[in-house]
Structure 1
Amino acid sequence: MRALCILIIDDQPAIGRLLSSYLSKVGHQCQYAPSGDEALKLYAQQPFDLVLVDQSMPGLDGQQTTRLLRELQLNMGWRPILMLSGNAETEAQIAALEAGCDDFVAKPVSLDMLAAKINSFQRIAEMQEQITRQNRELIEYRERDKEERNISAYLMSRLARTAKLEGRQLDYFLKPVSEVSGDLLLAWRASNGDRYALLADATGHDLPAALSLLPVSETFYNMAAKGFSLEGIARKLNRKSAEYLPANRFVALLMALYSPLDGTLQIWNGGIPGALLMADDGRVLERFESLNFPIGILDEDDPLFCCQVETVHITESCQFSMFSDGLIEAESISGMQFGLDRVEAVLHDVKPEQRAARLQEALALHTSGAQPHDDVAYMHIYCEPAKLDMQPAPPAFHECKPWSLQLQLNVEQLRNHDLEPLISSFCQSLGLEPAQHGIFSLVLRELLANAIEHGLLRLDTSIKHLSDGFERYLQLRQSSLQALEHGELQVDIQQASLEGIKRLSVTVTDSGPGFDFQNYKATASEEQFHGRGLYLLRQLCADLQFGGVGNQVTATLQWQ
């Protein structure tokens, strides 16, 4: 054991010298005080490890001195105090203990017994120091943990951009187990009106799970703002997660892209419980099970890696609902899970605008108000049939800068790149009028899709009439594009201004055989599943002209 620093308080110097001599021989350091007042001055300057105090002294007696020492120890830490007394009566011992002493030693003092008691209290003091040190470390850890949680919660709120979740186009709730959630809800409305939504559920919960979501937020927002496809976003998120996350961490993910103009809903599901598309009256129109691995598990070159997107055509007012497994697996007091059937039943029985609130009420009732064992996230998006009556962009009140862009794209580039957002982003850098961003991206998307699907691949869009037509059409498009050996597209874009009239023309030419556009009559209507591209272009553009052998289309936007 380490040497102790001991304060000896006794009005008889002989006893003080005797005790100091003996205790020094057994390895301790001693200091003598002839009175209580002198002892208090010494103790205030130095926190002794142990105090031996005589009970009967002139001035401050042993009991008064002990009480004052204990007051000093409130700020300096507990140390043992032993009372020395020639009165061994029970009442004297009780008085000493009540004054705050830890033990009583009768005079004449047995030095061997005193040494044994000191050793005993030394062990107690060392344990007390260890406890004090551990408590201090726990307090410091708690403060650091609190600060880290506050910073993480703030960071996650900034990354989630909660303001993007507010509005009439969606409803949501997020119920984390602690201050930081391992579930994440994101939403973005593109300039062309497309609505992106994302639900992510990281492995585990609390701070480690939340940190796994950091690569997700910025990547999603950046790519959604540029109009990338769900497949392109999913591939980029998978690469980012594989790059940043440890091998035992991954993120289950569900993304949705609702396009109001053409009334389509696209879903990419990687590891999230089956999402629902429900009509206003509560009928389940579609169920979307997971078709892909969660992100961060497989590399893109792994044979098992896939990136399947489901597409449905919206024919009536409905809501797309997605939720994390924390909702499905929330348990009652008896251990019964909330379950998917209960989710459908709750959503079926109420109006669309009340579904999120009613689901929260049902969850609280099921768990008897207790906190679920996992984070819970829910979001639904309001969907309507196609709206092809998009209003023209408002006039721009600043100078229209002239610029032009020409691109030649081969088959490999058509296969491996999401062309529309890449070209749109580049045109914005060149000086594309901000007021025209939304319409331009729609027009470019339709022109590229028309050139690839009809000009190069010669696909029959009548397949979309079938019950699973959209999904089959997209699969056919993908397989046909992968099998295409020859073909190219040329894109010419120009922005100019003449006599106050501003014009933006987009020409797409494909290397396909074309068609007899002179005798072609548009038959598309808002109710048809195919032929909608040309109908949409005629609604949006000031002029639409075919050229060449029908393998060239020029769309012109015009504004004051």
Structure 2
Amino acid sequence: MSANLPSEKPISQRPVNVCLLVPQQSHQLSIIHFLDPNLYHLTVVHSLDHFTQSLNTPKAERYAIDAIDIILLSTDLAKAESANTVAYLQTLIAHRYVPIILLSQTDVDDASILIDAMAAGAHDYIETSAKPSTHTAKLFAAKIASQVRIAAMQTLAQQQNAQIMEHHKHLMVEQQLAEEVFNKVSQNNGVDMANIRHWLSPIAVFNGDVLLAAPTPSGGLIVLLGDFTGHGLAAAIGAIPLASTFYSMVEKGFSMPDIIKELNAKLHAILPVSVFCCASVVQLNFDEGIVDIWNAGLPDSYVLRKDSSTIEAISSNGLALGIVGAGEYQPKPTRFNLLAGDRLYLLSDGVLEATNDKGEQFGDERLLEAISGQVNANAEKGFAAIKQQVIDFIGEHSPADDISLVELGMVNAADFAAMYQSSQQTITAEPVSWHFSYELRPDSLRYQDPVPLLLHLLMEVPTLRRYSGQLFTIMTELYNNALEHGLLGLSSALKQAPEGFKSYYSARNNHLNKLKQGTVCFTLDYQGDDQQGLLVVDVIDSGKGFDYAALASLTQPFHEGSHQAQAVLSGRGIPLLQSICSKIEYLGCGNHARVEFKWTA
């Protein structure tokens, strides 16, 4: 066999080191003649005291215990202390497998000694006599050879186990490094918001399930729960770019479908074919009480309304992220209207597949019963109760997959804004002054949304980041007015009719597809420091303009929740801008809008 001996050298390269512990003048010394000197190197020690003393002498003179491959121990030498002697020898060679073979005499009844010594750790025994027969000699040689083979296999197993342990150590370090990188990428993660409750129970250092959450510039919230194939580094290679892209795009104000498509394109480009990400993405609009839910490959998501124990399920309707290319991917979110106090549940398949000691899975039925039972419960205690039911079901059984359960609570816009207010940090910045122009032509107007790009530019100014919501509204309203009313000539009156919004945006798309010429130009001018700042935004379109005075007369000053604001379905842009900006004016025929946004520390 090719296995190595305890000294890590093949049998063919060196003889086996045998230590014989035997009294002087013992007939058992005759076994020396049974061992081939080309295969075995024999060292004889005549007393245990001498053997022990040799271990305490200078290294150059003592007999090295680490060089021993087999120990032959005479029962005559140890007699009644054989068990203790074997135990002592085991302590000396504890880190290695070194067979201890007892030598007994055929004409002496030492069965009790052999039994005690074998129980203490001896591996075998050989009966010897003053005049051994040829059969005894062959049996002795065969047993020694057998123990050599066993020792070689044990040593090989120890070496392989050490390699596995070392590999596991490196793997843990790599997973911890991946986790550290992921945590830095997601350092602005909003998963600890008061309206988000979550339970992520990983089976590896780096979780295969990923939970991301970030506020949108418009004052909403986008949450992603992802479940990558595999765990540890297999999940990390996808989770890190997923998180980086998610936070970057949410911060820049991209729409939820655009974010999903970009995440899919990114993962499809970098991941192996065998790695993909099942995901649920949710966008909460707290101003209007609207939730958009997209589920691709995860178990059903559930809506629990505060005044009903009836649960609404949102099933998967898309392919997991990273399977197909960008051109084939068209996410279709499902929209729900929710009231403050309603709850939405997202989960990975680890919840449903959680198994108890009987092999039973937790399953949909138990989960739905657990969720419906919390309709009248306090939100925090209700989520804890659902989690505890899963834990109690699993018992001592180890989960086979990551377990992730998320509860999202619908709140009103003011409460959500207050949740982030306390987390804002004081920012110091050097004085900044710059001017930027950006012109969009027909092809860009058809296919490109300039708002995320402009918002990204503004977010490069640290002191403006806390105003991302207001700046998003300013850019969106100015661009929509310039494009839809100024360039395309659409009338907001279309929105007042039944199915008005559908008709309006259908006309918008038709006009854009037919657009042959025309431009919308943004000019941004900013000056500021860490105490105050002024942003002037000019938007000029090449259209005929619009009667902004007449449009403004359709509405009263915008106040959320007022009767006027609820009754008018269009024309709210100008009053909304007036509530945010220090100055707003339309110039010329209405095709040039200028606003000023001021802030002070």
State which drifts further: 242-251 or 320-329: 320-329
Contact kept? 2:485, 2:546, Cα under 8 Å = no
Q: Which secondary structure does the structure 2 equivalent of 1:557 belong to?
A: strand
Counterpart selection for 2:143 from 89, 92, 117: 117
Stretches of structure 1 that go unaligned for 5 or more consecutive residues are none
1:523 aligns with 2:555: yes
Q: Which secondary structure does the structure 1 equivalent of 2:67 belong to?
A: coil
Counterpart code for 1:281: D
Counterpart code for 1:30: L
Counterpart of 1:455? Answer: 486
Q: 1:50 to 1:88 in 2, by over 3 A?
A: farther
Q: Which secondary structure does the structure 2 equivalent of 1:404 belong to?
A: strand
Pairs within 5 Å for 1:536-547: 536-547=576-587
Q: Which secondary structure does the structure 2 equivalent of 1:239 belong to?
A: helix
CA distance in 2, matches of 1:172, 1:487: 49
Q: Which secondary structure does the structure 1 equivalent of 2:241 belong to?
A: helix
Q: Please give the per-residue CA displacement for 1:136-180, whole angstroms capped at 9, x wherever unaligned.
A: 445445544554555555555555548632232433322334554
Counterpart selection for 2:257 from 227, 231, 235: 231
1:88 aligns with 2:107: yes
Q: Which secondary structure does the structure 2 equivalent of 1:338 belong to?
A: helix
Counterpart of 1:556? Answer: 596
Contact kept? 1:63, 1:99, Cα under 8 Å = no
1:203 aligns with 2:234: no
Contact kept? 2:45, 2:51, Cα under 8 Å = yes
Q: Please give the per-residue CA displacement for 1:100-154, whole angstroms capped at 9, x wherever unaligned.
A: 5520322123323322232233333334334434444454455445545555555
User: How far off is 1:420 after superposition?
Assistant: 1.5
Counterpart of 2:559? Answer: none
CA distance in 2, matches of 1:335, 1:368: 12
1:534 aligns with 2:534: no
Counterpart selection for 2:32 from 16, 20, 27: 20
Counterpart selection for 1:404 from 417, 435, 440: 435
Counterpart of 1:74? Answer: 91
Pairs within 5 Å for 1:456-475: 456-458=487-489
State which drifts further: 272-281 or 442-451: 272-281
Q: Which secondary structure does the structure 2 equivalent of 1:519 belong to?
A: helix
Counterpart selection for 1:29 from 41, 50, 53: 41
CA distance in 1, matches of 2:400, 2:104: 60
CA distance in 1, matches of 2:436, 2:251: 22
Q: 1:410 to 1:106 in 2, by over 3 A?
A: same
User: How far off is 1:246 after superposition?
Assistant: 1.0
Q: Which secondary structure does the structure 2 equivalent of 1:24 belong to?
A: coil
CA distance in 2, matches of 1:454, 1:511: 11
Q: Please give the per-residue CA displacement for 1:504-559, whole angstroms capped at 9, x wherever unaligned.
A: 32222223333233433133743244333333212212233223333332222245
CA distance in 1, matches of 2:175, 2:67: 37
State which drifts further: 138-147 or 414-423: 138-147
Counterpart selection for 1:345 from 361, 372, 376: 372
1:105 aligns with 2:131: no
Q: Please give the per-residue CA displacement for 1:357-408, whole angstroms capped at 9, x wherever unaligned.
A: 24324434555685654433233444456679x99x9999988644332221
Q: Which secondary structure does the structure 2 equivalent of 1:526 belong to?
A: helix
Counterpart of 1:419? Answer: 450
1:50 aligns with 2:70: yes
Pairs within 5 Å for 1:485-500: 485-495=516-526
Q: Please give the per-residue CA displacement for 1:451-477, whole angstroms capped at 9, x wherever unaligned.
A: 234434455667767998778876775
CA distance in 1, matches of 2:492, 2:325: 34
CA distance in 2, matches of 1:34, 1:369: 55
Pairs within 5 Å for 1:125-524: 125-161=151-187, 164-190=190-216, 193-205=219-231, 208-261=234-287, 264-282=290-308, 288-301=314-327, 304-309=328-333, 318-330=342-354, 334-335=360-361, 337-339=363-365, 341-342=368-369, 345-346=372-373, 348-364=375-391, 367=394, 373-384=400-411, 401-429=432-460, 433=464, 436-458=467-489, 481=512, 484-495=515-526, 503-520=534-551, 521-523=553-555
Counterpart code for 2:329: F
What is the TM-score of this pair, normalised by structure 2?
A: 0.76
Q: Which secondary structure does the structure 2 equivalent of 1:507 belong to?
A: strand
Identity of aligned residues (%): 25
CA distance in 1, matches of 2:375, 2:574: 38
Q: 1:266 to 1:463 in 2, by over 3 A?
A: farther
Contact kept? 2:71, 2:101, Cα under 8 Å = yes
Q: Which secondary structure does the structure 2 equivalent of 1:293 belong to?
A: coil
User: How far off is 1:182 after superposition?
Assistant: 1.7
User: How far off is 1:68 after superposition?
Assistant: 3.8
CA distance in 2, matches of 1:34, 1:285: 84
CA distance in 2, matches of 1:396, 1:153: 28
Counterpart of 1:8? Answer: 20
Contact kept? 2:214, 2:247, Cα under 8 Å = yes
Q: Which secondary structure does the structure 2 equivalent of 1:257 belong to?
A: strand
State which drifts further: 183-192 or 5-14: 5-14
User: How far off is 1:297 after superposition?
Assistant: 0.9
User: How far off is 1:350 after superposition?
Assistant: 3.4
Counterpart code for 1:325: D
Q: Which secondary structure does the structure 1 equivalent of 2:326 belong to?
A: coil
Aligned length: 552
Counterpart code for 1:526: A
User: How far off is 1:11 after superposition?
Assistant: 4.2
Q: Which secondary structure does the structure 2 equivalent of 1:181 belong to?
A: coil
Q: 1:543 to 1:455 in 2, by over 3 A?
A: same
Contact kept? 1:187, 1:197, Cα under 8 Å = yes
Q: 1:14 to 1:292 in 2, by over 3 A?
A: closer
Counterpart code for 2:573: G
Stretches of structure 2 that go unaligned for 5 or more consecutive residues are 2-10, 55-61, 419-423, 557-563
Counterpart code for 1:49: D
User: How far off is 1:241 after superposition?
Assistant: 1.0
Q: Which secondary structure does the structure 2 equivalent of 1:200 belong to?
A: strand
Q: Which secondary structure does the structure 2 equivalent of 1:51 belong to?
A: strand
CA distance in 2, matches of 1:151, 1:371: 25
Contact kept? 2:309, 2:372, Cα under 8 Å = no
State which drifts further: 540-549 or 66-75: 66-75
What is the TM-score of this pair, normalised by structure 1?
A: 0.81
Contact kept? 1:420, 1:444, Cα under 8 Å = yes
CA distance in 1, matches of 2:505, 2:380: 32
Aligned CA RMSD, in angstroms, stands at 4.3
CA distance in 1, matches of 2:467, 2:264: 32
